[in-house]
Amino acid sequence: MVAGAERTEYADGRRGDEQARPLTRFARLSRTAFVGGIVLAVGLFAWGGWQRRWIADDGLIVLRTVRNLLAGNGPVFNAGERVETNTSTAWTYTVWFFSWVSQARLEYVVLTVALSLSVAAVMFAMLGTGKLWGGTSSALLLPAGVIAYIAVPPARDYVTSGLENCLVICWIGLLWWLLIRWSRAERVRLGALFGLVFLAGLAPLIRPEMTVVGGLALLLIFCSPMPAFRFGPVALRVLIVAVAGLVPLMYQVWRMGYYGLPYPNTAVAKDAGGAKWGQGFIYLWDLVGPYFLWVPLLVLLVAGIAAARVGRQAPTATEPKQGWSVHRVRDRLRTPGAVVALMLGSGLLLTVYALRVGGDFMHGRMLLPQLFLLLLPVAVVPIRLPQLRKLREGGWSFAAVRRAGLSFVVLVLALGGTAVWALCAAGTTAIKTGTKINASGIVDERIYYVLNTGHDHPILAEHYLDYARIRPMVEAIRDNPNGGLLLNSPSFMFWYVAPPPLPIPEGGVGHTVYFLNLGMTSMNVPLDVRVLDPMGLAYPLAAHTDRLTDGRIGHDKSLYPDWVIVDTGMVDRKPWMPWYMDEKWVTQARTAMSCPDTQALLLSYRDPLDWDRFKHNLRNALRFASYRIDRVPKYEIQRCGLVDPFPEPPR
């Protein structure tokens, strides 16, 4: 043992997996059953995801950024505007990497990568839980929690959606497997430890709220006993912090300087720090209620407790020491039980966060990682036959054997109950009004676009040309070569084109589309067409408006088009301006946009990026993030203290 290293032997008598033992007939059977269970679960998930293959409108938003990356415009949505429209940084660059390597069509790259990561997540989860229960030497490890997850229709909907769900659950599954291996290892190797903490440190790049999972995992590792290291445990802890924080810290500094925000623009657009508890509980029940999801969660909770009790009945070489001390508490941190508590606690915390922000408008999507976390400890369950030999040899008491038999019955019933529930839930349709959005604002996104595009599997961008208003948009761009601003009519029936002022330069001034559905619009037009949205995912001016109190969840910001007329420099007079717009409002919007703080915000992502701009953005990123404007030009003029060009007459 190197001097200064902390001890790695534990009072509970844990042994490493390195000790090879000849496989018994039961162990061979158990290993075969475990491998077969993994193949079955992976196959079912892959088949279910393929049957529901599609790419969501929001998934196409990611591809617009990837197109700009491949074209050399940087990680932006519109060339010349540094806006981070994708919540998952890691997912954007994962898609970019495989697109760059394969040179294949982007939609097919996403389809392949997403399906691969989704099934890998199930495999990692089962491997980790199998290790949790001690491997295949003493029990049959049969799939349980993974079957419950696969059976939930939204879980299969988001296998290939083009969104980052696949990457999130894959990261969670891999982290779970490596943490369990770390907790059971007799001697922790430094290479494996650094790999584990590097993976945990990627959490904020996987998705910002995953910092809860990764941060707690790093805290658990940091506070646990350290393996042997020549410079001592303190130096090793410093290295752990450096390895875990290097990539996310470097990216954070770059993000603040490049984009002028401390987090993705999507967090500003959706006010990720806001509270809508009532809507959050509606969103939770929208997932739990239709599938009776509480049934497998309760059944598998009982199964997990029963399996854990049986696992503790076999006597260990050294009984755990009783009492409390700092060293004993620290020793217990590197145990499977501590890892289980971490994952369950993270799942509950993330569920509370989802409730607070109001969930999402996509049925089930924002709660799938939480469900995956909560099911991890019972992804597989161990079936241990009551061992009468232990009773004869005096290793177990008769009461212990009786408890083992009772647990065996409970686990078998739990497996059967979960299987029956899964068969019933798998074919359930939660939302039956697929072509309409109900009062809650929540919609089955896949069914909605299947019905509204007429394609069973809307995957390619051109499939969305059959969605209302998209093909006419492409035609309007073609029919107006001089450029202009495309605004959809209030009835959403046709497009207005606000023209540019004279003189029009040769080749026109370019086109700007102002529409809510960013993905299908941006992927069906060239990169030189600017695409903005009233909600603000790709348009910071809209993102920094105040949240609408009664707006649809996930869409509760809507910037009036008067601002966009001014921002794009189009003709602001009738009859060239759309009939439903008010010249007075447009004039007031021009005044409102002159607010110094608003101009500073616009310059933060539109100014050419040099060292001075980078430093300025870095210093002011937090201020930019909290800045809000009023979407009504008149009220924004008052807020900023400007002179209204149309003052109200004195009363």
Tell me: do 472 and 379 sit in the same domain: no
- In this prediction, residues 520-539 reach a mean pLDDT of 95
Tell me: do 270 and 417 sit in the same domain: yes
Tell me: do 373 and 495 sit in the same domain: no
- In this prediction, residues 357-373 reach a mean pLDDT of 93
Report the range of poorest mean pLDDT among 102-116, 154-168, 301-315, 418-432. 301-315
Q: Which residues contact 529 (CB under 8 A, 6 or more apart)?
A: 477, 510, 511, 512, 513, 522
- In this prediction, residues 640-650 reach a mean pLDDT of 87
> pLDDT band at 437, cuts 50/70/90?
confident
What is the spatial distance between Cα 44 and Cα 318, in angstroms, rounded to a whole number? 42
Whole-angstrom CA distances from 216 to 175, 201, 247, 324 are 12, 10, 18, 22
On the question of pLDDT at 203 being above 70, the answer is yes
On the question of pLDDT at 364 being above 60, the answer is yes
| SS3 call for 93 | helix
Tell me: do 511 and 383 sit in the same domain: no
pLDDT mean across residues, the chain: 88
- In this prediction, residues 73-96 reach a mean pLDDT of 96
First to last CA, the chain: 87
- In this prediction, residues 445-455 reach a mean pLDDT of 91
Tell me: do 192 and 253 sit in the same domain: yes
User: Is 274 a member of any domain?
Assistant: yes
Q: Give 314's Cβ-side CA count (13 Å radius).
A: 17
Handedness of CA 280, 282, 288, 294 (dihedral sign): positive
Tell me: do 422 and 473 sit in the same domain: no
Structure tokens at 540: 């910071």
> pLDDT band at 30, cuts 50/70/90?
confident
> pLDDT band at 317, cuts 50/70/90?
very low
User: Is 650 a member of any domain?
Assistant: no
Tell me whether the omega of the peptide bond preceding residue 503 falls within 30 degrees of 0, making it cis.
Answer: yes
Q: Which residues contact 289 (CB under 8 A, 6 or more apart)?
A: none
Question: 170 versus 548: which is more confidently predicted?
Answer: 170
pLDDT of residue 522: 95
Residue with tokens 């051109």: 462
- In this prediction, residues 568-573 reach a mean pLDDT of 92
Instruction: State the total domains in the chain.
Output: 2
Tell me: do 491 and 357 sit in the same domain: no
* Dihedral Cα 344, 347, 352, 353, nearest 10 deg: 140
> pLDDT band at 435, cuts 50/70/90?
low
- The domain of 418 spans 45-312+330-387+396-427
Q: Tens digit of pLDDT for each residue in 368-406?
A: 999 999 999 999 999 876 554 454 445 555 555 566 677
User: Is 11 a member of any domain?
Assistant: no
Q: Name, of 88-102, 396-410, 428-442, the range with top average pLDDT.
A: 88-102
What is the spatial distance between Cα 588 and Cα 572, in angstroms, rounded to a whole number? 12
Our measurement of the distance from residue 57's CA atom to the centroid of its chain's CA atoms, rounded to an integer in Å, reads 16
Q: Which among 409, 427, 445 is the end of a domain?
A: 427
Tell me: do 531 and 406 sit in the same domain: no
β partners of residue 513: 486, 531
- Sort 597 into a burial class: Cβ within 10 Å, 0-12 / 13-18 / 19+: middle
> pLDDT band at 464, cuts 50/70/90?
very high
User: Is 6 a member of any domain?
Assistant: no
- Sort 326 into a burial class: Cβ within 10 Å, 0-12 / 13-18 / 19+: exposed
> pLDDT band at 14, cuts 50/70/90?
very low
User: Is 166 a member of any domain?
Assistant: yes
Q: Name, of 214-223, 320-329, 544-553, the range with top average pLDDT.
A: 214-223
- In this prediction, residues 457-462 reach a mean pLDDT of 95
What is the spatial distance between Cα 85 and Cα 92, in angstroms, rounded to a whole number? 10
Tell me: do 484 and 542 sit in the same domain: yes
Report the range of poorest mean pLDDT among 116-130, 158-172, 436-450. 436-450
Percentage of residues of the chain with pLDDT beyond 90: 67
pLDDT of residue 550: 81
- In this prediction, residues 121-145 reach a mean pLDDT of 89
Closest CA to 143 of 130, 156, 162, 160: 130
Q: Which among 427, 448, 477 is the end of a domain?
A: 427
The greatest distance separating any two alpha carbons of the chain, rounded to the nearest whole angstrom, comes to: 100
Q: Are 444 and 363 contacting, i.e. CB atoms less than 8 angstroms apart? A: yes
On the question of pLDDT at 503 being above 70, the answer is yes
Q: Are 630 and 636 contacting, i.e. CB atoms less than 8 angstroms apart? A: yes
> pLDDT band at 23, cuts 50/70/90?
low
Tell me: do 496 and 546 sit in the same domain: yes
pLDDT of residue 440: 80
β partners of residue 484: 511
Q: Are 546 and 628 contacting, i.e. CB atoms less than 8 angstroms apart? A: yes
| SS3 call for 556 | coil
On the question of pLDDT at 5 being above 60, the answer is no
User: Is 578 a member of any domain?
Assistant: yes
Tell me: do 409 and 487 sit in the same domain: no
pLDDT of residue 318: 33
- In this prediction, residues 547-551 reach a mean pLDDT of 84
Q: Indicate yes or no: pTM above 0.85.
A: yes
User: Is 473 a member of any domain?
Assistant: yes
Q: Tens digit of pLDDT for each residue in 227-248?
A: 888 888 899 999 999 999 999 9
- In this prediction, residues 66-93 reach a mean pLDDT of 96
Q: Which residues contact 390 (CB under 8 A, 6 or more apart)?
A: 396, 400, 401
User: Is 460 a member of any domain?
Assistant: no
On the question of pLDDT at 492 being above 70, the answer is no
Percentage of residues of the chain with pLDDT beyond 70: 89
**Number of helical H runs and strand E runs in the chain:** 28, 6
Q: Which among 374, 405, 427 is the end of a domain?
A: 427
Tell me: do 157 and 244 sit in the same domain: yes
- In this prediction, residues 213-237 reach a mean pLDDT of 90
pLDDT of residue 580: 86
> pLDDT band at 19, cuts 50/70/90?
very low
